[in-house]
Amino acid sequence: MGFSCLGRGVGGRVRRVDVRAGVARSVVAAVLSLAAPCSLFAQSACDADIDADGVVGPADLSGLLVAWGACAKCSADIDRDGTVGSADLSQLLARWGEVCVGLPWATVLEVAPDPAVVTNAALRNAIAATGLPWRVRDDGTGIEMLLVPPGSFTMGCSASAAFACDPDEVPVHQVTLTNAFYLGRTEVTQAAWTARRGSNPSLFQGAAYPDAANRPVEQVSWEMIAGSGGFLTGTGLRLPTEAEWEYAYRAGTTTAYHGFAGAPDGTNADALVGSIAWFGGNNGASGTPTYGTKVVAQKAANTLGLHDMSGNVFEWVADWYAANYYASSPATNPTGPASGNSRVLRGGAWFFNASGVRASNRNAVPPAFVNSYNGFRVARDP
């Protein structure tokens, strides 16, 4: 016996999938009992590729049937509900025959976005729609990265309860990013920098800072990072554009400060900044052991899973800086002015007040500038 199921293939094409004899009668009955067995959304071909052989097919079906029932965090639980059942089978069939394309430069850590991390369903769906794995590790540098899906957002002035916007944060304007990209889950650490460069320029290292390896690297200029022969040379990595950085920071919010577990829609309350950032308000007094940078990923991530987008160290981005750039910025994939004297820094730092860690706050210094509050986060195209 067999049955047919209409599923959507790559590019949205509708095609017929036939499952022949050999499928357990109880499983068939369960699938047929679904009101719309192929309308459930399989996040990507890679989710349904249970045996990780690059294609969704009979071996994956066999693996799913073997795992049928309660199965926490197993590969056959396609919809991540803790049980392998008819919903997972329906999703597998909807992706039958599709190819899961890996990333030649990365090791995949998690294909589907973890709902406990990416708590916004719209963001999870946008990530899944790319067909790309969510969490990966760059093989060349060991840096963990998360997928940021394409989308549109409102860029510019987000005042907090206590802090107004600066003149260079206006006009507020709509921006569309048409391509998905990967972004470092944290700021680049001293360990990652040292492994690639062989030395460590950071101030906060040595015997007084036994956890220095996991603190962000600082005292790095834009030129040391992205200039000729810099950290990024030959890695395939890059700095995010300013628009990519703000889009990733906001992660679907429109407020001064990005969302987190206590305020998933973001917040304008300056008193909550300590939940997401190491900044001047919670960093201790100058000269004390608590003064300076901190180990990455101790504060709450935003709703894309990115840590320390607020505070710890300012983050260099790719763009040249112009105070009036927003007045003429392209609406699609802006990359900043063609030239300038300074590069843009985003996100605030360990010594800065809450205004500096707002989503829209902009800072700029010459690309050769070095200081203990400037670091960076890497991006990469798929």
The CA angle 44-103-307, to the nearest 5 degrees, is: 80
pLDDT at 120: 93
Backbone torsions φ then ψ of 250, nearest 5 degrees: -65, -40
For residues 92-96, give the mean pLDDT. 90
The mean-pLDDT minimum among 73-77, 226-230, 275-279 falls in: 73-77
Beta strands 343-346 and 363-365 are antiparallel
The CA angle 119-120-121, to the nearest 5 degrees, is: 110
The mean-pLDDT minimum among 2-6, 49-53, 61-65 falls in: 2-6
Is a pLDDT exceeding 60 seen at residue 278?
Answer: yes
CA–CA distance, 255 with 268 (Å, rounded to integer): 6
pLDDT > 70 in the chain, percent: 88
For residues 173-195, give the mean pLDDT. 98
The mean-pLDDT minimum among 59-68, 147-156, 315-324, 335-344 falls in: 59-68
For residues 173-184, give the mean pLDDT. 98
For residues 279-300, give the mean pLDDT. 88
Kindly tell me the burial class for residue 41, based on how many C-beta atoms sit within 10 Å of its own C-beta (0-12, 13-18, 19 or more).
middle
CA–CA distance, 255 with 365 (Å, rounded to integer): 26
Q: What is the signed CA dihedral for 348, 354, 355, 356, rounded to 10 degrees?
A: -10
Is a pLDDT exceeding 70 seen at residue 32?
Answer: no
pLDDT > 90 in the chain, percent: 75
Task: Answer whether 96's CB lies under 8 Å from 3's CB.
Answer: no
Q: Pick 10 or 180 by higher pLDDT.
A: 180
What residues contact 13, with CB distance under 8 A and at least 6 apart?
none
pLDDT at 285: 75
Beta strands 3-8 and 14-19 are antiparallel
Is a pLDDT exceeding 80 seen at residue 366?
Answer: yes
For residues 37-62, give the mean pLDDT. 72
The mean-pLDDT minimum among 20-29, 258-267, 333-342 falls in: 20-29
Q: Taking the CA of residue 181 as centre, how many other CA atoms within 13 Å lie in the half-sphere pointing to its CB? A: 23
Distances (CA, A) of 308 to 136, 298, 304, 315, 353: 18, 8, 12, 10, 15
For residues 300-323, give the mean pLDDT. 98
The neighbour count for residue 171, using CB atoms within 10 Å, is: 11
Q: Three-state SS across 117-170?
A: CCCCHHHHHHHHHCCCCCEEEECCCCCEEEEECCEEEEECCCCCCCCCCCHHHC
Is a pLDDT exceeding 60 seen at residue 244?
Answer: yes
Is a pLDDT exceeding 60 seen at residue 287?
Answer: yes
CA–CA distance, 147 with 158 (Å, rounded to integer): 24
pLDDT at 340: 98
pLDDT at 44: 72
Which pair of structure tokens corresponds to residue 321?
A: 């800086």
The mean-pLDDT minimum among 94-103, 206-215, 275-284 falls in: 94-103
pLDDT at 43: 58
Domain ranges of the chain: 3-94, 102-382
Task: Answer whether 188's CB lies under 8 Å from 230's CB.
Answer: no
CATH 1.25.40.10, domain 102-382, yes or no: no
The pLDDT tens digits for 148-163 are 999 999 999 999 999 9
Which pair of structure tokens corresponds to residue 214?
A: 């996991």
Task: Answer whether 273's CB lies under 8 Å from 262's CB.
Answer: no
What residues contact 17, with CB distance under 8 A and at least 6 apart?
4, 5, 6, 7, 93, 94, 96, 97
